[in-house]
Structure 1
Amino acid sequence: MAGDLRPTMRDPVAFEGFYRRHVEQVSRFVARRVPVPHLVDDLTTEVFMAAIDAAGTYRADRGSEVAWLYGIARNVVASEHRRAARELDKSEREAGRRHLDADDIARLEVRIDAERAAGAMLSAIAGLPKALRAVAELVDIDGLPVADAAAALRIRVGTARVRLHRAHRLLRTGPSEELAMEGTS
């Protein structure tokens, strides 16, 4: 079947190629949402581990491999945020983390600093309703085409376009004007 990633995920050489093609994009996606270098590294690894398990769910006709990986990454990051909210004790959060050497930390800090520019936009987008925020993050922050963002969110392309338009209008006009405009339409 075209677009079936299961053979790629079972073949170590093919998987290495898949990983190398996408690891930077996935790591940047995670770094924009998680400011802790150890966590960026761990969650990026979790995304690829989850991709191995979910390889049978990839459908090329629904979007690119990157869009599919971003969908997985959104779930992994959301799961981590929920876990962190439940677990307040820092020593428990650090337990089981792989120790990074100074070069790993420096590399991840550089990546986090490079992604800091997206922070202002993420702050503005954070105030949007959840459905609008998800599309705006994938398109405006992560640079996905609308069709790929729709695939990552498992919604229709038309729905993604409408949500993106509404998100942009809200970001320009503010929530009170948007609500007033929707009340008249």
Structure 2
Amino acid sequence: MRLNEDPAAFEAFYRRHIDAVMRFVVRRVSDPHLAADLTADIFLAALDSAHTYRPGRGTEIAWLYGVARNVVSAQHRRSVREAEVTSRVAGRRLMDDDDLGEMVERIDAERQMRRALEAMRDLPEGERAVLELVAIDQLTVSEAAAVLEIRQVTARVRLHRARRALQQVASPSAAYMEGQA
């Protein structure tokens, strides 16, 4: 991809993927300002790292979700480190009322998915990452494996384990009965 060399190519790439990236972000954060900032950061990171995209390893969106996952994870790590010293308002750019309204609507629309992510928080990181990409972001197992830079068979095993763990949490008596059979 020559996104950093061709403004028209970057614009087309941005338009193709902005909605998917926004959905990815608002599933993971509930603050509209932070969601807007992370979305912009993801496209800046994609522009900076466009030379790393290899079509043979997966689709553009799978690669972009990998970039997005790294940006969102980095933000979560920063937030944890800065929680003691930074107020909620510091560093946020202002949004106009229309932008803020649209971001609030997106966040409300993804509330159920954030609950699902919350239910998955106790899963091991590798299993949770595969499950998020497949079940929530609707990537194929192959695409999720490419995003996480693991083998497809590893992704399938992790997905199976994650689904089984969630079933046990959702219905412990069914899991117990299954173990008794």
* Paired residues, number: 173
Q: Distance in 2 between matches of 1:56 and 1:35?
A: 31
Deviant stretches of 4+, over 6 Å: 175-178
Aligned residue identity for 1:119: R
Any stretches of 5+ residues in structure 1 without a counterpart? Answer: none
* TM-score (structure 2 length as normaliser): 0.89
Q: Which residue of 1 aligns with 2:31?
A: 36
Residue 70 of structure 2 corresponds to which residue in structure 1?
Answer: 75
| Structure 1 residue 170 corresponds to structure 2 residue 168 | no
Unaligned ranges ≥5, structure 2? none
Query: 1:142 is aligned with what amino acid?
Result: D
Aligned residues: CA RMSD: 1.9
The secondary structure found in structure 2 opposite 1:122 is helix
Q: Deviations over 1:80-104 (max 9, x none)?
A: 111111112443x533322101111
1:161 aligns with 2:156: yes
Letter in 1 for 2:26: A
Aligned equivalent of 1:101: 96
> Residue type of the partner of 1:116?
R
**Code of the aligned partner of 2:21:** V
> In the alignment, which of 141, 144, 165 is matched to residue 139 of structure 2?
144
Which secondary structure does the structure 2 equivalent of 1:10 belong to? coil
Paired with 1:115 and 1:38, the residues of 2 have a C-alpha distance of 16
- CA-CA distance at 1:116 after TM superposition: 0.7
C-alpha displacement at 1:155, in angstroms? 0.7
Amino acid at match of 1:78: S
Instruction: Say whether residues 1:59 and 2:19 are aligned partners.
Output: no
For 1:124 and 1:85, the matched residues in 2 are separated by: 20
| Matches of 2:36 and 2:115, distance apart in 1 | 23
CA distance, structure 2, for counterparts of residue 94 and residue 75 of structure 1: 24
Q: Match of 2:92, as an amino acid?
A: R
Amino acid at match of 1:161: R
- Separation (CA, whole Å) in 2 of partners of 1:8 and 1:46: 15
Residue by residue over 1:84-135, the C-alpha shift from the partner in whole angstroms, topping out at 9 and shown as x without a partner, is: 11112443x5333221011111100000011111123212211111110000
The answer on 1:25 being equivalent to 2:44 is no
